A = this chain, B = another copy of it.
Amino acid sequence: MAHRIAVIAGDGIGTEVMPEGIRALEVAAKRFKIDLAFTTFEFGSCDYYLEHSKMLPDDWFDQLKDFDALFYGAVGWPDKVPDHISLWGSLLQFRRQFDQYINLRPCKLMPGIKSPLAGREPGDIDFYVVRENTEGEYSSVGGKMFEGTEREIVLQETVMSRVGVDRVLKYAFDLAQTRPRKKLTSATKSNGISITMPYWDERVAEMAKHYPEIAVDKFHIDILTANFVLHPDWFDVVVGSNLFGDILSDLGPACTGTIGIAPSANINPEGKFPSLFEPVHGSAPDIAGKGIANPIGQIWSGAMMLEHLGYKEAADAMVTAIEEVLSEGNRQVLTRDVGGQGSTVSLGQAIAERI
């Protein structure tokens, strides 16, 4: 039986890296005898919005819900559609309606990639950010009063539920359990954000009781970002709320020099709904259309998708191919962001060949 994959390339460089993601997946599928069936959708992009005045058709949920996974490029083009409209109209809907409550993002210093941090070598940085992906600071609750006057006031609710907090913590503790260092760091800000964040801490302490072998620590988000720069080697599994996880999963890849190549998985662990796999980078309007975007984030996200579908060996082969091509450092092949002169296609082809 074929695994049905819904493909949504989105905007900007999303449309350029997506073909390379598919190329790599097709090669891996062939080699490991996996049956993948791709179906491409045009919606979920700003161009679609300009035509239809919405990011998604009304029946998107039904169109997508029976796929085994969504393979996503990048969305957003602020000159066409304001970001909060394009994102809340697409990606954030998928995450929430398909209850993809885990956002999993590896931060790994790869061979051949220069870290912006002094003296860090591959092996020094290798951790996961586990981000809550459906509630918290990304709420849709709030509004304005006294609009347009000097007294104008704007409110937005942060919403944490016991169910929402506990399930992401459980996932993170379970993940830490599988790692040699068995270490979990919680991102908090309970000294300043005095209602939701102490609650988060409470739930972490409660969950920790069930995992006596895990070494748990916590940092306030301000000093935690500092420690990502100063001591990236301290971290193994880092768990945070929707906003804190968002910040840490951009900062982490920045510290490993891989902001353009980091992958992410938006997971519904129960498999009730399809999970979504996308690069961490955005649609990058500034370099879109030039064919120079790095396709590794898309390809690596494809590897996470295969792993999620149960093909660990194939996923590992894809990541190994990425590592090999990066360590060879062939400037004709690599894209500019990693020190080369090649193109999206040249790098995508090289990785596909290696797989």
A116: contacting residue among B86, B118, B153, CB under 8 A: B118
Check: A1 CB closer than 8 A to any chain B CB.
Answer: no
Chain B contacts for A114, CB-based, 8 A: 118
Alpha-carbon distance A282/B192, docked complex (angstroms):
13
Check: A180 CB closer than 8 A to any chain B CB.
Answer: no
The closest CB in chain B to the CB of A226 belongs to B254
The distance from the CB of A261 to the nearest CB of chain B, in whole angstroms, is: 13
Chain B contacts for A150, CB-based, 8 A: 162-163
Q: Is the CB of B222 within 8 A of A225?
A: no
Q: Is the CB of B222 within 8 A of A251?
A: yes
The distance from the CB of A196 to the nearest CB of chain B, in whole angstroms, is: 4
Q: Is the CB of A192 within 8 A of B222?
A: no
Check: A324 CB closer than 8 A to any chain B CB.
Answer: no
Q: Is the CB of B229 within 8 A of A246?
A: no
A153: contacting residue among B161, B192, B193, CB under 8 A: B161
Q: Is the CB of B143 within 8 A of A152?
A: no
The closest CB in chain B to the CB of A251 belongs to B225
Q: A222-B247, A247-B221 are in contact. Are A153 and B143 (CB under 8 A)?
A: no
Q: Is the CB of A226 within 8 A of B243?
A: no
Alpha-carbon distance A221/B249, docked complex (angstroms):
11
Check: A287 CB closer than 8 A to any chain B CB.
Answer: no
Chain B contacts for A223, CB-based, 8 A: 250, 259, 282
Q: Is the CB of B83 within 8 A of A190?
A: yes
Which residues of chain A (191-233) have a CB below 8 Å from chain B? 191-199, 220-223, 225-227, 229-230
Check: A349 CB closer than 8 A to any chain B CB.
Answer: no
Contact with B along A173-185 (1 / 0, CB 8 A): 0000000000000
Q: Chain A's interface: helix, strand, loop or mixed, by majority?
A: mixed
Stretch at the interface among A3-11, A134-142, A309-317: A134-142
**Which residue, of A160, A194, A282, has the highest number of chain B Cβ atoms within 10 A?**
A194
Alpha-carbon distance A117/B227, docked complex (angstroms):
13
Check: A87 CB closer than 8 A to any chain B CB.
Answer: yes
Check: A255 CB closer than 8 A to any chain B CB.
Answer: yes
Contact with B along A69-110 (1 / 0, CB 8 A): 000000010000011101110001000000000000000000
A225: contacting residue among B76, B230, B247, CB under 8 A: B247
Chain B contacts for A144, CB-based, 8 A: 195, 199
Q: List 26 A-B contacts (CB under 8 A).
A: A115-B118, A116-B118, A116-B230, A118-B118, A137-B158, A137-B192, A140-B194, A142-B196, A149-B162, A151-B162, A152-B161, A154-B159, A155-B158, A155-B159, A156-B157, A156-B193, A156-B196, A222-B247, A223-B250, A223-B259, A225-B225, A226-B254, A227-B254, A229-B229, A247-B247, A251-B251
Lowest 8 CB-CB distances: which A-B pairs, in order? A226-B254, A83-B191, A222-B250, A152-B162, A142-B195, A156-B195, A118-B118, A84-B194
10 other A-B residue contacts (CB within 8 Å) besides A118-B119, A193-B243: A87-B191, A138-B192, A138-B193, A151-B162, A154-B161, A156-B194, A157-B157, A192-B246, A222-B250, A229-B255
